[in-house]
Every structure is written in C-alpha cells, then in structure tokens.
Amino acid sequence: MGVIPTFPGNPRQKHQFVIRVDGFDAAWFEEATIPGVELEIDEFNPAGSVRPMKFAGRAKFDDATLKKGMPSDDADLTAWTWLTTANNTEAGELGDPATYKKDIEIAHVNRVGSPIQTWTLKGAFCKKIEWGDNSGGSSEHVIETLTLSVDDVKVS
C-alpha cells in the first residue's frame, strides 16, 4: 500500500485505524477487528485422581479484518502484490514465508491523529481482499475488506 503523507486532521474523519507496514503509514480504515486469542487446554490425569488437572496449551489467533480502507492517492496494488507473493496462481507457485510474512502495526487514532492504542501483528500476511463498488469521481473507500492471517499479537 502506498504512503499517505499525514493524518488529514479533519474532525469528521471516518478513517480511525492506520496500518503501518515497514514503518510507513500504508492505509487508513474505518473499521478494524483485532485478532482475538484463545488458549487451548491441555489436561493431565494423575494416577489416583478423580479429576483432571488443566494447563494452558497453545495460543490460537483469529484473523484481523480491516474494512472500508483508503490507501494512497491513486489506485494501489500493494495489497494485491502482497497476496500474490504468498500464492501466485498464474505461475502455480506458493511463496516463501520469509518474503510474504510481515510484522505490521494497527493504530487506533483519535480525531486529531494521536494514537489511542496500537497492536503489532506478527507474521501477518494478506489472506483475502474485497474491493468495493466504486464509481468514477468517488472519494469513497477503495478496499472494502482486507483480511490478514497472523501468528501473534502484541498490544501496546
């Protein structure tokens, strides 16, 4: 996704979530679903016990979903390039995870562009893109939905 120079600063600004990739503001979105985390439960049945002991197991992370996105000034192919880096159907090849997995930030910002909360999505890659119904001369969002698969989430 291209670089958006600065937060617009418009008090009516609808895009409250900024996506940072490689340290640059890549796109703004109106809605973001931050991945939830769930721990699997491991059970151990000690000899002579009438009930199992439970322990925390592996962590599972949901997908991140970003809706109603506005990338840089012009039509942007970066999300599409990111998706095809993971799976190039034209060439019939799977991508190298070292190339397509990225650590990205999602920052929830207030009306003047100051961060309220930031999440770092580790090992994220573009899983699904849906474009909206666009008309000529429209300044509406370009990406309707962007779905990211993630390995880990850190909150700051």
Q: Which of 25, 66, 36 shows the shortest CA–CA distance to 152? A: 36
For the chain, give every domain's residue range: 17-34+63-155
Give CA–CA dist 131/151, Å, rounded.
25
Q: Which amino acid is at 98?
A: A
Note the pLDDT of residue 135.
Answer: 63
Note the pLDDT of residue 72.
Answer: 56
Phi, psi of 118 (to 5 degrees): -130, 140
Phi, psi of 35 (to 5 degrees): -60, 135
Give CA–CA dist 91/13, Å, rounded.
41
Whether pLDDT at 108 is above 70: yes
Whether pLDDT at 88 is above 90: no
- Tell me the pLDDT of the chain averaged across its residues: 82
Whether pLDDT at 47 is above 70: yes
CA 10 to chain centre: 24
Give CA–CA dist 97/151, Å, rounded.
12
Note the pLDDT of residue 115.
Answer: 87
For residue 55, CA distances in Å to 6, 36, 58, 62, 102 come to: 47, 20, 10, 21, 31
Find the mean pLDDT for residues 70-90: 73
3-state secondary structure of 13: coil
Find the mean pLDDT for residues 24-41: 89
Note the pLDDT of residue 39.
Answer: 95
